[in-house]
Structure 1
Amino acid sequence: MTYAADSALDFVSIARELGTNRGLTLKSGVSNGTELTPTEVRVRMQREGQNFLRRSTLNGTTIDREGLANNYAVEPALYYAAFPSPEQARQYALQGAIAVLFITVTLLTAFAVS
């Protein structure tokens, strides 16, 4: 049983061959398959030149045989939160008290107006 990946065209070798055979003409009527190269790959080969398929892979990125990038989500590193210091705890308590006071004033104003 052959898999699709085994029977797929090898675009890297086709790209190398196209780089050496720019003016490909079929004299005998037999094709070597280079005319089946996708248009996107040919345009990228012309645009990137020698850098075609030589990009470094970044974290979360892979490059397939056609030179197309596949991006994957990168999970961030996990870390534990530090417990707040006593000064930070006092600031949180003060902020909570101000929030409760603000909501109380807002509700009393709403009841007084209605």
Structure 2
Amino acid sequence: MTNGALLTVVGLVLCQTDLLTLSPLQSSIVTWGLNTAWVSIASECANAYWGTANTLPIIVKVANAVGGLEWQEMIVLVSHLAILCMIPAFGVITSELFFGVKTTKRGEKH
């Protein structure tokens, strides 16, 4: 749920082209960073099926699952580590949103 809310807010900010402009490098960082959210979402679906106990123990207690196999635990763990790629993406968006060069409707820089 948190990923969905964050991605919705980021999408709304990025659609407002007068709020910020990104260079090609910044666009690549944001695109790849935000696309890693799909890896995490897919692993959460797999975790719901497998019931991995070591990586997400709270879910196992609620679902009364017995836990997954070792390789299933590793897949869920590694895919949750991939979400760390979102940190630079949010850093780029935040820095451009608050400290970037703004343009007015007439094309003048602030």
Same fold (TM over 0.5): no
Q: Given the two structures, how large is their TM-score scaled by the length of structure 1?
A: 0.26
Give the number of the structure whose residues are more often helix, by fraction: 2
Larger radius of gyration: 1
Greater relative contact order: 1 or 2 (C-alpha under 8 angstroms, separation 6 or more)?
A: 2
Give the number of the structure whose residues are more often strand, by fraction: 1
Q: Given the two structures, how large is their TM-score scaled by the length of structure 2?
A: 0.26
